[in-house]
């Protein structure tokens, strides 16, 4: 080691200099939703959650798909007007595997926050059939005669390990006339039958992905009244990135753009979760932040901008 390198490591009095403080930031964005039901307005919202064990697996340092589903479902439920009934349907919450019926909570009117809390508490128990779950939802909507003014939002990784063909169940759900949105969490392969389905006489079904082909980019910049900081850039859905600690603004390249003020703590990971559903009725855009322990393995530093 040369004298300059040694000087960089040794502080006053021969002590090793402390490493510069560092924080970590992880951004996750779920976006999509087709245009809302037409006519007399929204009659009901059905939120379907895949809570099977495969959803709980985190990959590449990302949030697990289950965490993303919990967050997205809860935020969607909390956004609903009090006069719109909501139902929470969860598959994979009980045994026996591949045979237990889905958990159905609701429909509830004026209590979306209660269902949101339940969504955040969902825990995997066993594998379950996505097809059977969709058939349960389709049957309930058809029996109650409210399907044509109902929005069904399905959060899943499409890692089905049991049950019938989900394409047939999907067709049954579309045949009810409901507006259906499939939010694919992770890199699951979307079957051809789900990529561009069209409801009879209605709007196309939207298929949004947690990992978009064109992922949402963002910049971390100084707050208007805060100290200066070097701007850094990242992409939503990527592993945690190193950033300077302190107050900052995360500028997300959405339409319209979204600026989120955050506080980045030294030695900690901040998770920013964003849900952006401009086609919802009313349009939904929300976010939340969570603090966590730093990642086990440091990722490359953020790229300055």
190 plus 55 within the same structural domain: yes
In a domain, 13, yes or no: no
pLDDT at 7: 41
292 plus 230 within the same structural domain: yes
pLDDT at 212: 47
141 plus 225 within the same structural domain: no
183 plus 220 within the same structural domain: no
In a domain, 282, yes or no: yes
Q: Are 133 and 48 in contact (CB under 8 A)?
A: yes
98 plus 41 within the same structural domain: yes
Q: Which of 209, 233, 263 is the last residue of a domain?
A: 209
The total of other beta-carbon atoms located within 10 Å of residue 118's CB is 20
The pTM assigned to this predicted structure is 0.63
pLDDT at 216: 87
State the Cα–Cα distance between residues 261 and 250, nearest whole angstrom: 6
pLDDT at 204: 39
Q: Are 105 and 91 in contact (CB under 8 A)?
A: no
56 plus 149 within the same structural domain: yes
Q: Which of 209, 228, 252 is the last residue of a domain?
A: 209
pLDDT at 225: 86
User: What CATH number is attached to the domain comprising 192?
Assistant: 3.40.50.410
pLDDT at 187: 62
In a domain, 3, yes or no: no
In a domain, 10, yes or no: no
The count of domains in the chain is: 2
**Residue in 60, 58, 91 with CA at minimum distance from that of residue 73:** 91
130 plus 225 within the same structural domain: no
205 plus 228 within the same structural domain: no
Q: Are 163 and 130 in contact (CB under 8 A)?
A: yes
Give residue for tokens 């969504």.
119
Q: For residue 67, give its domain range.
A: 33-209
In a domain, 14, yes or no: no
In a domain, 12, yes or no: no
pLDDT at 133: 95
70 plus 194 within the same structural domain: yes
In a domain, 7, yes or no: no
Q: Which of 160, 187, 209 is the last residue of a domain?
A: 209
148 plus 251 within the same structural domain: no
188 plus 54 within the same structural domain: yes
Mean pLDDT, contiguous 10-residue spans, the chain (305 residues): 42 56 88 50 86 76 74 83 90 93 90 89 93 93 85 86 83 84 72 56 46 75 91 90 96 92 95 74 71 72 50
pLDDT at 295: 85
110 plus 247 within the same structural domain: no
In a domain, 281, yes or no: yes
Q: Are strands 217-221 and 232-235 parallel, antiparallel or unpaired?
A: antiparallel
């Amino acid at each position: 080691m040369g004298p300059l390198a040694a000087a960089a490591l040794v502080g006053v009095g021969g002590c090793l200099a402390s490493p510069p403080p560092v924080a970590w930031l992880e951004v996750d964005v779920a976006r999509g939703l087709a245009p809302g039901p037409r006519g007399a307005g929204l009659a009901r919202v059905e939120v379907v959650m895949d809570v099977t064990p495969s959803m709980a697996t985190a990959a590449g340092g990302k949030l697990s798909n289950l965490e993303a589903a919990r967050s997205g479902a809860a935020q969607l439920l909390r956004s609903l007007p009090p006069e719109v009934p909501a139902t929470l349907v969860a598959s994979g919450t009980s045994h026996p595997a591949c045979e237990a019926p889905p958990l159905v909570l609701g429909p509830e009117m004026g209590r979306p926050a209660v269902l949101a809390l339940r969504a955040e508490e969902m825990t995997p128990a066993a594998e379950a059939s996505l097809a059977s779950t969709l058939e349960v939802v389709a049957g309930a909507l058809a029996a109650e005669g409210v399907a044509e003014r109902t929005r069904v939002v399905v959060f899943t990784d499409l890692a089905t390990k049991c049950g019938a063909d989900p394409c047939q169940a999907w067709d049954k759900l579309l045949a009810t006339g409901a507006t259906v949105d499939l939010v694919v969490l992770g890199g699951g392969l979307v079957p051809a039958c789900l990529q561009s389905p069209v409801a009879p006489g209605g709007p196309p079904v939207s298929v949004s992905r947690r990992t978009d082909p064109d992922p949402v980019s963002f910049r971390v910049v100084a707050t208007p009244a805060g100290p200066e900081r070097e701007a850094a850039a990242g992409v939503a859905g990527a592993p945690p990135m190193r950033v300077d600690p302190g107050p900052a603004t995360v500028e997300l390249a959405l339409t319209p753009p979204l600026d989120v003020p955050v506080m980045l703590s030294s030695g900690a990971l901040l998770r920013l979760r964003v849900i952006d559903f401009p086609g919802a009725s009313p349009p939904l855009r929300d976010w939340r932040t969570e603090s966590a322990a730093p990642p086990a393995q440091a990722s490359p530093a953020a790229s300055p901008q």
